[in-house]
């Protein structure tokens, strides 16, 4: 059973779709008007079997309030930390899609004590020397997943991201692993186009990390 709730932060109310039990898992969508909690509509039920899932609509998206000022990925990261405080979540795992992956990277780099593990999905990242040095600071176990047919961020960039983050594992989903109804769909949303493999891979990663931790 999913719960639809608004969580008050100092920058505005964030809408979250919450389900499941256990350790917190926060899902962070990407940039653009098409993004909302429904970015994860094919994943929430499966992931809520192993975690307490928060599928967020960041400020300015979906039914969440508009922020008073423009927020960049670091600003959204701080709001998520505040949301965790409101919800009394000391530590969480995070899944970030595309630009949302940069939000998650910022949290992992700057608030490592709040992070269990992270999943980066077809993720943006800063590829210059300074950006790669920041990625090297990430301590949390990291799963990187990508669509081999990603047209926005080609899959070879996934290899660079995986090399930059020391404790990381890379999985590139193939054309043959796509959901049957998604053969011609956007290659940049592998959580949607490869939902069966995505849910299986992320679930195993979360459970494996729990056993190690």
**pLDDT 10s digits, 127-177:** 999 999 999 999 999 999 999 999 899 999 999 999 999 999 999 999 899
pLDDT for 183 equals 65
Asked if residue 201 has pLDDT above 90, the reply is: yes
**Mean pLDDT of the residues in the chain:** 92
pLDDT band at 210 (very low <50, low <70, confident <90, very high): very low
**pLDDT 10s digits, 2-42:** 999 999 999 999 999 999 999 999 999 988 777 788 889 99
3-state secondary structure of 92: strand
Rounded percentage of the chain residues whose pLDDT exceeds 70: 96
pLDDT band at 213 (very low <50, low <70, confident <90, very high): very low
Q: Strands, E, within the chain: which ranges?
A: 3-9, 12-19, 24-28, 52-57, 92-97, 115-121, 142-147, 168-173
Stretch among 55-64, 66-75, 125-134, 176-185 having the lowest mean pLDDT: 176-185
3-state secondary structure of 9: strand
pLDDT band at 184 (very low <50, low <70, confident <90, very high): low
Higher per-residue pLDDT: 212 or 56: 56
Q: Which helix (H) or strand (E) holds 120?
A: strand 115-121
The HSE-up count of residue 140 (CA atoms within 13 Å, CB side) is 28
pLDDT for 88 equals 97
According to the CATH classification, is domain 3-212 in 3.40.50.1820?
yes
Cα–Cα dist 36/130, whole Å: 31
Q: Where are the domains of the chain?
A: 3-212
**pLDDT 10s digits, 35-60:** 788 889 999 999 999 999 999 999 99
**pLDDT 10s digits, 87-134:** 999 999 999 999 999 999 999 999 999 999 999 999 999 999 999 999
């Amino acid at each position: 059973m999913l719960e639809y709730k608004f969580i008050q932060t100092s920058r505005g109310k964030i809408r979250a779709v919450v389900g499941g039990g256990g350790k917190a898992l926060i899902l962070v969508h990407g940039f653009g008007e098409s993004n909302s909690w429904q970015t994860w509509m094919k994943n929430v039920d499966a992931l809520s079997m192993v975690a307490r899932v928060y599928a967020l609509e960041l400020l300015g998206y979906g039914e969440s309030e508009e922020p008073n000022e423009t927020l960049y990925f670091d600003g959204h990261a701080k709001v998520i930390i505040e949301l965790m405080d409101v919800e009394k979540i000391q530590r969480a795992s995070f899944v970030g899609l595309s630009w949302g992956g940069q939000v998650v990277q910022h949290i992992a780099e700057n608030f490592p004590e709040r992070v269990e593990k992270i999943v980066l999905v077809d993720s943006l990242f800063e590829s210059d020397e300074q950006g790669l040095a920041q990625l090297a600071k990430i301590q949390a176990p990291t799963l990187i997943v990508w669509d081999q047919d990603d047209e926005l961020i080609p899959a070879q960039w996934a290899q660079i991201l995986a090399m930059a983050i020391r404790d990381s594992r890379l999985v590139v989903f193939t054309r043959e692993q796509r959901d049957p109804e998604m053969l011609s769909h956007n290659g940049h949303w592998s959580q949607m186009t490869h939902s069966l493999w995505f849910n299986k891979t992320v679930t195993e990663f979360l459970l494996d990390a729990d056993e190690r931790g």
